[in-house]
A and B are shown apart, each in its own frame.
Chain A
Amino acid sequence: MSTIQSIAGENEQHPDVALVDRVRAGDVAAYDTLVRKYERQIFRIAQHITQNREDAEDVMQDAFLKAYEKLEQFQGNSKFYTWLVRIAVNESLMRLRKRRTGKMVSIDEDLETEEGSVPRDLADWAPDPEQNYNQSELAEILRKTIQGLPQGFRVVFVLRDVEGLSTEETAETLGLSVPAVKSRLLRARLQLRERLSRYFRMKSPPSRRRKEGVKSDVH
């Protein structure tokens, strides 16, 4: 029994692999399951990159249709989800290019800024700061804040921290090196933190903290 389990364990694959195999064998219902499983994530990623609801809807549809058409090319070296995300990222960038006719779009643009590499706002946040806003106010703050990030930081943060891809998967998906993903992730996290501080900082900091808004003495 243990031998069977260990053999099964060695061959144990992600549940998506069986679904992909069924789709390849002509079972469209299995693809329905895969679409349902990932459609919200793919929509969110597309929305984060294109910043446009209609484009995100189109990208979501195109990404799933393209994945279906190209399923034979899916090698199984990476997870189906990572492969799908890569298609969605490329479709999103193509969509952006169409909107900004003639202008090249890449995930490397606007990365010159040094903003956020050194934390400046060192005020502590209120406990559960999101409780100070209603749901739609909070969503607006979070949207506005993340939209202000350079594309190349935003997409790394979204894939790695929001959608839960590993650093390696994020690197593979975006065609970046692992150190590049790590560097962008740190700066994305710090920039978002800095910008959210405007909304979430404590109104009256405890006495052990220095006055609000003082410049960093981080050395």
Chain B
Amino acid sequence: MTCTEFLALLDDLIDDSLAAQTRAEIEQHMHKCGHCEVIFNTTRKTIEIYRSHEIYDLPAGIMDRLHAAIMARCKKGC
């Protein structure tokens, strides 16, 4: 497996949607290629960080006000 072939399969590897045989080949490639191993680990970490950190959170007070405004309009039939 080349690094280019590895990159083409990277998303499927991250999303755990590879067939066992392909997965074994890709793991074998990563074992030999430190760069691809880094790309896999850091890309997976990138997703994990964005998933686990709230970067656009609203204070509860503002969310409550927006929520109340929506429901007030709905009760009036919008």
Contact surface of A with B, Cβ cutoff 8 Å: 28, 31-32, 35-36, 39-40, 43-44, 47-48, 56-57, 60-61, 64-65, 68-69, 118-119, 122-125, 129-130, 138-139, 142-143, 146, 157, 161-162, 182, 185-186, 189-190, 192-193, 196-197, 200, 208-209, 216-219
If the complex has contacts A28-B71, A56-B56, A193-B43, are A185 and B66 also in contact, measured as CB distance less than 8 A? no
| Main SS class of interface, A | helix
A residues less than 8 Å from B54 (CB atoms): 44, 139
One of B2, B38, B45 near A123 (C-beta < 8 A):
B38
One of B46, B47, B69 near A61 (C-beta < 8 A):
B69
A residues less than 8 Å from B53 (CB atoms): 130, 138-139, 142
Closest CB of chain B to A47's CB: distance in Å?
4
Instruction: Write 12 A-B pairs (CB below 8 A) sorted by A numbering.
Output: A31-B71, A32-B71, A40-B63, A61-B69, A124-B42, A125-B45, A139-B55, A189-B14, A189-B43, A190-B39, A197-B42, A216-B35
Nearest residue in B to A201 (C-beta to C-beta)?
B42
| Main SS class of interface, B | helix
Closest CB of chain B to A42's CB: distance in Å?
10
Q: Is the CB of A130 within 8 A of B49?
A: yes
Q: Is the CB of A189 within 8 A of B46?
A: yes
Any A CB within 8 A of the CB of B51 = yes
B residues less than 8 Å from A118 (CB atoms): 7
One of A36, A157, A200, A208 near B67 (C-beta < 8 A):
A36
One of A47, A193, A217 near B35 (C-beta < 8 A):
A217
Any A CB within 8 A of the CB of B73 = yes
A residues less than 8 Å from B36 (CB atoms): 218
Nearest residue in A to B6 (C-beta to C-beta)?
A218
A residues less than 8 Å from B4 (CB atoms): 218-219
Closest CB of chain B to A146's CB: distance in Å?
7
Any A CB within 8 A of the CB of B41 = yes
B residues less than 8 Å from A32 (CB atoms): 71
List 9 extra interface pairs beyond A139-B53, A190-B10, CB under 8 A: A28-B75, A39-B70, A122-B39, A124-B41, A125-B41, A142-B55, A161-B47, A196-B46, A209-B38
